[in-house]
Amino acid sequence: MGKTQCDEMTYSINGENTHYGTPVNPKAHGRIPGGSSSGSASAVSGGLVDFGLGTDCGGSVRIPASYCGVFGIRTSHGLVASDGVIPLAKRFDTVGWFARMAHLMQRVGEVLLPGTSPFRPKRLLIATDAFGIIDSQIAAALQPAVENMAAIMPKAYNVNVFTRDSNEWLTTFRVLQGADIRARHGDWIDRYHPEFGPGIRERFAWTATLTAADVAIALPIREAVERHMDGLLGDDAILCLPTAPGIAPLLNTPQAELEVFRSSAFRLLSIAGLARLPQISLPLSTFEGCPLGLSIIGPRESDKGLLEWAAAHFD
């Protein structure tokens, strides 16, 4: 067992920690590992350990899994107990893990996941509007993996995921996450004035500007997203989409550029988060020699079935 680094308060998807440094990305040298579960992903990707635990609130397992070229799962919200984990945003916090092999992902799931109803996917839904968010070159790099996935499924369809503008889903996620973060950590921040690093400092300050009216607007939108995704997936479908907008950004990328990349990422990441669904990032593609993850999202509490399906086809 070992202790690994993460972003400050886990409030980032970059993996760069101003105070303790940035873990190495073993599969993309000179680039960030992704966060917030950066150290775990780095240790697994570099072969130091067989698997590593992480947490995923907004993308903190999925993003480093994609950047570091490993498997990573965000579990169904509330399915794995988070006892002993310091919360970031209770509405979205989940426990997840990384491994280099799909069968080991499944073995870890046998230990951590409770017994649930069997899930055997019969339909593949390809999220064309989610692929439309990312650069066309990145989409092209993912296309062979998408086609291979479609070939092993009984049925495959192109679908649109977003009911309206993807920015609405992004904003809804950010507001509800931010309100939770402020409620949990605001008093401590106001009292002690901790020295946060770039980006994280501004995000914590922004949470203090959120109002009850902002939350009241966001809550019914989240409920509508949840109903929509339940209806789309039913009990037999998986949704295929990019894990991230691209490969890991370079180390020391200007903060303004990282924030633009972050916004694009959260249009993709907010889907599973808002709907409380499990998502696995699969290391199936590369671009310019760097890892590029392709994700599958399943119905709520289909985690074991998703892991079994991945182990059967991608080991």
Handedness of CA 69, 38, 222, 82 (dihedral sign): positive
Query: Residue 150 — very low, low, confident or very high, per pLDDT cuts 50/70/90?
Result: very high
Average pLDDT over residues 279-284: 98
The vertex-132 CA angle with 155 and 27, nearest 5°, equals 90
The predicted structure's pLDDT at residue 117: 87
As a whole number, the mean pLDDT across the chain is 97
159: exposed, middle or buried (Cβ count in 10 Å: 0-12, 13-18, 19+): middle
Question: CATH homologous superfamily for 8-314?
Answer: Amidase signature (AS) domain (3.90.1300.10)
pLDDT at residue number 64: 98
Phi/psi for 310 (5° steps) reads -65, -40
What is the predicted pLDDT for the residue at 164? 83
Query: For residue 234, what are the contacts with CB-CB under 8 A and spacing of at least 6?
Result: 123, 299
In order of 176, 189, 309, the CA distances from 207 in angstroms are: 10, 11, 39
How far, in Å, CA of 185 to CA of 261, rounded? 26
Cα distance between residue 69 and residue 243, in whole Å: 11
pLDDT at residue 1 above 90?
Answer: no
44 — phi, psi (to 5°)? -70, -45
| pTM, rounded to two decimals | 0.97
